[in-house]
Amino acid sequence: MKDAPNIARIAALIGDPARANMLLALMQGGALTVSELSLEAGVGLATTSSHVAQLQAGGLISARKSGRHKYLELASSDVAALVEQLMALSGATPLRRKPGPKDAAMRHARVCYDHLAGATGVQVYQSLTQQGYLAHGADGLTLSPPGLVFAQDFGMVLHDLRPGKPALCRDCLDWNMRKSHLAGRFGRALLVQMESKSWLKRSPTSRAILFSASGQAAFDQAFPPIIAGLSLDAAPDSP
């Protein structure tokens, strides 16, 4: 269809290995310079600048200036969700090895742009669903009235949880768990609150999120892993 969205153009942008590595580097939710992206992509500065221009033109990344420096970041949470789902699809074919990141810490908990992913992210989604705090309706995923009470008790301001754009709640297919974790403004707010409660900290060298012992206990109390078969232990890779 000639009037259909040009998905081939976006696919071609993401399909280049160097540009794909740049997008993956930006999945940690921070902003990087062209020089930093050059190191992540393994290409020269001139080539990186060309790739950056193409990604910007395609609406996949955006730039902001701070002093003399220009910082690049993912254009939106929708772009992050697309990258995460492509990561999941890339490992969907039969494998002898466990899909997803090899690092057990990354499989357990990591940041997916601005929200919690990995086994703990899936636990949040499934626990909130089981407790009736997430409502699945014709208009998509949202917070139920009991969910709003939970959010307020968790320390959130209800005014910030009104329906609107970006979406309040959204499914995001988890890379290694192959199940949904929670994205959207509520997903982001949950991660912020967990950080403010000192349950966890972000790894300075990767997208991994590290829970303290007390933080993990508090997390399990707030989001009990009541779904049969959900294991928070990152299984080792199969030989």
Q: How far is CA 25 from the centre of its chain?
A: 12
pLDDT the model gives residue 4: 57
Residue 28: count of CB within 10 angstroms of its CB = 19
Residue 123 to residue 48: CA distance in whole angstroms: 38
pLDDT the model gives residue 102: 58
- Three-class SS state of 41: helix
Residue 143 to residue 158: CA distance in whole angstroms: 11
- Three-class SS state of 93: coil
Handedness of CA 147, 148, 149, 152 (dihedral sign): positive
- Three-class SS state of 61: strand
Residue 79 to residue 94: CA distance in whole angstroms: 26
Averaged pLDDT in 10-residue chunks for the chain of 239 residues: 72 91 84 88 91 93 84 87 82 45 82 92 95 87 93 88 83 84 94 97 90 96 73 39
| Residue extents of the structural domains in the chain | 7-75, 101-222
pLDDT the model gives residue 97: 42
For the entire predicted model, the pTM comes to 0.68
Q: Give, rounded to a whole angstrom, the gap between the first and last alpha carbons of the chain.
A: 46
Residue 82 to residue 84: CA distance in whole angstroms: 5
Q: What is the CATH number of domain 7-75?
A: 1.10.10.10
pLDDT the model gives residue 195: 96
Which pairing describes strands 209-211 and 180-183: parallel, antiparallel, or unpaired? unpaired
